[in-house]
Amino acid sequence: MNNKIIFKYQLNIQDFQVIYLPSDFKILKLDIQDGNPCLWCEVDNSSDMVNLNIHMRPTGFSFTGIEHNYIGTIGELYVWHFYWENLK
């Protein structure tokens, strides 16, 4: 049985945040909607739930010590780059 659905997660402009989502997920898009950064993911809502660590860095700022997966970049005047941390 296919339990796939697309969920939207609103993000904040901050260095680190955690979202709670099904473990079987695929990130589809990062964009701004109504002035807020949002992440759209295809998920299997019958899978176990996990915490996903989201890291944000403005252009010109460094980050080290964490293996990151690129999500996307948003912004015009200020530009932010979003990554998710590998689940262990």
Profile the chain (88 residues) by mean pLDDT over runs of 10 residues: 90 95 96 96 95 92 76 93 82
**pLDDT number for residue 87:** 65
Residue in 82, 17, 4 with CA at minimum distance from that of residue 52: 17
Q: What phi and psi values does residue 17 have, to the nearest 5 degrees? A: -155, 165
pTM of the model: 0.88
Cα(53)–Cα(11) distance, integer angstroms = 11
- Can you say whether the dihedral through the CA atoms of 16, 18, 24, 30 is positive or negative? negative
Question: Phi-psi region for residue 15, left (φ > 0), alpha (ψ -120 to 50) or beta?
Answer: alpha
Residue 35: predicted pLDDT? 92
Q: How many distinct structural domains can be found in the chain? A: 1
Question: Domain range spanning residue 49?
Answer: 4-85
